[in-house]
Amino acid sequence: MITCNALATLHEAGLVLALNPAGGLAVSPASRITPELRIVIKANRDGLLAQLHHEASNDANVHEDDAIAAQRQTDLDRYCWPHSGAMSGQEIDTLVARLAQFTNKGLSLDDGERLADKLVIRDREGDDRRLCLECVHLQGAHRRRCAKALQADVAHEQLANELVSTLQRCCGFQATPAPCP
């Protein structure tokens, strides 16, 4: 779950990462942890721990030269899926983009995060079902409607929250374009 981007983001925010005495993750100062940074930390927890454990085991060894250290830093995705449950950099970027998309369509941060996490698993498993929340035809943030209701075989107005957040196959589905980096 760790990427160079995530590690850089946490360091740029002034956060210090360390292993606590029990071998868990310690992040300080807590006052600098924003809700967005909390998502990054949660999404990258396993990878951050793996990296910190790896660094701790190397402390007793001879210091690496700068080229090796730079290569190690750029190759952090090797600790990620499918070798562990950790998310890759691309998975994290996709999760963050989905979270923004879902909250823009009226979901709470918690509900959006839950669905974005669920979609990481969906993508890993190759599941072809989609959420209405991922579709370009879903309109409105609170009184949601489907612009392709006849093709999708759903009510035209006031789609239920349960429907728009349920994985399904839809004849009218068209993915919302990915945001530009």
Residue 87 CA to its chain's centroid (Å):
7
Largest Cα–Cα distance of the chain, in whole Å?
A: 67
pLDDT of residue 137: 93
Of 107, 110, 134, residue with least CA distance to 123:
134
Asked if residue 167 lies in contact with residue 179, where contact means CB atoms within 8 angstroms, the answer is no
Going by the DSSP 8-state scheme, the letter that residue 114 receives in this structure is H
pLDDT of residue 111: 93
Going by the DSSP 8-state scheme, the letter that residue 137 receives in this structure is T
Average pLDDT per run of 10 along the chain, which is 181 residues long?
68 82 79 86 84 70 57 65 81 89 90 94 95 92 88 83 92 80 44
**CA atoms lying within 13 Å on the CB side of residue 75:** 7
Tokens of 24: 């868990």
pTM of the model: 0.58
Give SS3 for 89. helix
